Amino acid sequence: MPTTRDQKIQAEAKRLLQEGVVDVVIGFTKGTLPYKMQPCFIQHAEDVEQLELNGLCSNNLAVYLNHRPKDERTAIVVRGCESRAVQTLVLENRHARENLYLIGVPCIGILDLQKIQQHEQDPVLAIQEEGDQVHVTLKSGEKTFQRSEILHNACLHCNHPLPVNADMIIDEAGLFEERTFDKSYLESFRSLSLKERYQEFTKEAERCIRCYACREACPMCYCEECFVNHSRPQWVDSTIDPAGQQAWHIIRAFHQTGRCVSCGACERACPMNIKMTYLTDLLNQDMFKEYDFEPGLDPALMPPFLALGEDNEKFGVGPEGSHAG
Amino acid sequence: MIRKKPAIVLFQCQYCLASSMDQYWVETELPENVKLIKVSCSGRIDPLYILNAVQGGADGIMVCGCMPEKCHYKEGNLHARRTLSEFCNFLNLLGYSQDRFVFHWMNIDERGVIQSLLTEFEKNLEKLGAQPHLKTRTFSQEKA
Ligand code: SF4
Ligand code: SF4
């Protein structure tokens, strides 16, 4: 009888492959560095032992749906944010839901290496997770953290760690319960003055080296040709001048309005440690306030920018001809 | 001291001015500080266009489209209204005040409204002063 989380995932993957339910299982396996996990694609039942899942799996696996053939029967190991990303992708016709099998895992959160490794001179050699505690071997010696101390910010702010609409759930209580909408850090950003907000934004954006790792890591960024790559006309400067950096950050975030699932994969991918989920979180918060919409929760509800309701009341324009600015 | 008038960029849907006099005025007699960007439908105004105007130094942005249910393409204006109003909120969060935006959804029986809207907007912008943030775009001529 499989007992641990990894064993349960492996058993399910094995069953799916043996019974021919799916062609491939997407999950995580050990990476080349001792404290990194990497995505893997399992096509044969005898390989399922490679599958593992822990707090070091920092990618969002839903991103691979965009790179695989549309009609491939795929099983994915999904945590909360990944299940919501899959949901949104299905809604946007990127993949057919009937070709997908979601192995849901209640999320235990993703660890933030930045919080663990404080100094360049003191690299992380190994990380061992044990329930609520995380034992880290640094070059300078051993250290034990509480999991909550070193969780990635996106996970600290996450409202829905439980998978949505999964085909099966690995029944192990996650460390998280469903929570209320705690986005107080957004409120503190909103309460800054216009100038302070601008400074805060520029401070982050101006470090950008335009590598687009954030885009590649994001499941919702799947355009064949991104607006920053257009050369005729060139909408956005492609070099690292302030105009281009700001435009990239503003428009990238804006394209995620009502679509971003707040997984934080973009931030974890960024080589410059630039904060950017606050941008998409602000936009999503607006969508929640105005349209009562949260990405990926309802499999039938289109994002507000795709579903055009009659919101005349909201904007003060009535069909009778009264109008306001 | 002669103060420069605020730079305004006017995004106008080609169908929203029902009166040909108004359209003629907009096309030929706009004051120099107002730049006209005529678009086929307000739904065609990508946030990127607005951002380009903002970064290029616009002190104010005015968007004119048709009223709901009067869109030539059925729902372009509804799309514009949702996305652009949110984009305006978003820019407000990043340092470009929402007072620098005006949206106006024209009714077909409106005459001479665009002129008064522009005058009023210009007055408001003068009170706000020059736009200090996000003005980062340099043009290729300037670079050379
Ligand atoms: S923008 Fe970032 S947080 Fe949002 S879905 Fe994409 S990778 Fe995840
Ligand atoms: S990953 Fe970071 S540095 Fe690279 S483009 Fe995105 S924000 Fe810029």
Are the C-beta atoms of residues B128 and B91 closer than 8 Å to each other?
Answer: no
A169 shares its domain with A121: no
A290-314 mean pLDDT: 82
Smallest Cβ distance to A254: which of B52, B79, B90? B90
A174 shares its domain with A208: no
Task: Check residue A70 and give its pLDDT.
Answer: 84
User: What angle (nearest 5°) sits at the alpha carbon of residue B45, between those of residues B141 and B87?
Assistant: 95
Residue type, A125: L
Q: Is A145 helix (H, G, I), strand (E, B) or coil?
A: strand
pTM for the model: 0.90
A52 shares its domain with A14: yes
Q: Residue A68 corresponds to which tokens in the numbers above?
A: 């695989």
Atom number, ligand 2, closest to the C-alpha of residue A245:
8
pLDDT band for A316, please (50, 70, 90 cuts).
Answer: low
Task: Check residue A314 and give its pLDDT.
Answer: 67
A306 shares its domain with A204: yes
A93 shares its domain with A145: no
Q: Report chain B residues whose CB lies below 8 A from the CB of A319.
A: 67-69
The domain of A169 spans 1-111+152-180
A315 shares its domain with A279: yes
A310:B68 CB<8 A: yes
CATH 2.30.30 fits B8-128, yes or no: no
Task: Check residue A322 and give its pLDDT.
Answer: 38
B107:A247 CB<8 A: no
A129 shares its domain with A212: no
Residue A247, chain B, CB below 8 Å: the answer is yes
Domain ends where: A134, A160, A180? A180
Smallest Cβ distance to A283: which of B90, B105, B134? B90
Instruction: Please state the domain count of chain A.
Output: 3
Calpha distance A147→A144 (Å, rounded):
9
pLDDT band for A317, please (50, 70, 90 cuts).
Answer: low
A32 shares its domain with A141: no
Q: Report chain B residues whose CB lies below 8 A from the CB of A312.
A: 68
* Residue A271 DSSP symbol: T
Q: In what order do the strands lie in the sheet with A141-146?
A: A124-130, A133-138, A141-146
A122-126 mean pLDDT: 84
Say yes or no to pLDDT of A256 above 90: yes
A292 shares its domain with A199: yes
H or E segment to which residue A7 belongs: helix A5-18
Calpha distance A158→A276 (Å, rounded):
15
Quote ipTM for the complex. 0.91
CA B12 to chain centre: 7
Say yes or no to pLDDT of B16 above 60: yes
A170 shares its domain with A189: no
Report CA-CA distances (Å) from A305 to A102, A259, A308: 27, 10, 7
pLDDT digits (tens, 9 = 90+) for A37-90: 999 999 999 999 999 998 999 999 999 999 888 888 999 999 999 999 999 999
User: Which sequence spans correspond to the domains of chain B?
Assistant: 8-128
A78 shares its domain with A22: yes
Are the C-beta atoms of residues A8 and A15 closer than 8 Å to each other?
Answer: no
A91 shares its domain with A191: no
